[in-house]
Structure 1
């Protein structure tokens, strides 16, 4: 049994490290696409803005994550009799696409949730 586990462990570790395309690689696929194509893939933007022949489309993504508590208190060098509770945080990512003549020419991603 232990031998099987040792043989399977490298496969599991390699699979855990496998990742898909980066956010930049995903967003780069939008370059040259029409506004309709962007909306069809991402939904309706939360904001639009037009200036000097360019149109900006902004999309917002929010994700709630769990931040685990500290069973030893606030990480001090001695054990405290209480535990710091787990808490939740919201990570945000704002995606902005710049369009000229109805086609995406660039994009920007801002926020701690942009991965």
Structure 2
């Protein structure tokens, strides 16, 4: 029971941390709404891609990184395998994290933004 309670506390703190990061990102990006497109490009740099449709312009910024998650520890009897290290027979996991931020521009002014991806929060 104590182990379950500890796991729930850890999980809730991780989720709270992700929510906090998302709120910080949204607060930072919200400062560009109502400002000219030139201010956006000046602050964030050249967008990864852009496209125009129906009198609106969309600028997309893609933040991409790769992280290496260590393999899980080996549990159980050490036997002759103990001298080869702490980690077991599972390989490390490579995870690609991507966050795409798309701004909508109308009449030269930033109107809105949207976030998409597994690394936005």
Q: Same fold (TM over 0.5)?
A: yes
Q: Which residue of 1 aligns with 2:112?
A: 106
Distance change (3 Å), C-alpha of 1:106 and 1:72: same
Aligned length: 94
> How big is each residue's C-alpha offset from its partner over 1:6-26, in whole Å with a ceiling of 9 and x where there is no partner?
xxxxxxxxxxx8x67611111
Runs of 4+ in 1 over 4 A off after TM superposition: 78-81
Aligned to 2:95: 89
Tell me by how many angstroms 1:52 deviates: 1.4
Task: Measure, in 1, the Cα distance between the counterparts of 2:31 and 2:89.
Answer: 46
Would you say the 8 A contact 1:58–1:95 is kept in 2?
yes
User: What whole-Å deviation, never above 9, does each CA across 1:61-86 have from its counterpart, x for those lacking one?
Assistant: 0122221211227xxxx669633232
Contact residue 47 and residue 59 of structure 1 kept, 8 A: yes
| Separation in structure 1 between the aligned mates of residue 102 and residue 50 of structure 2, nearest angstrom | 9
SS at structure 2 position matched to 1:69: coil
**TM-score, structure 2 normalization:** 0.67
Whole-Å separation in 2 of the counterparts to 1:40 and 1:28: 16
Aligned partners of 2:53 and 2:104: how far apart in 1? Answer: 11
Match of 1:4 in 2: none
Unaligned 5+ runs, structure 1: 1-16
CA distance in 2, matches of 1:113, 1:87: 16
Q: Give the superposed CA RMSD.
A: 2.4
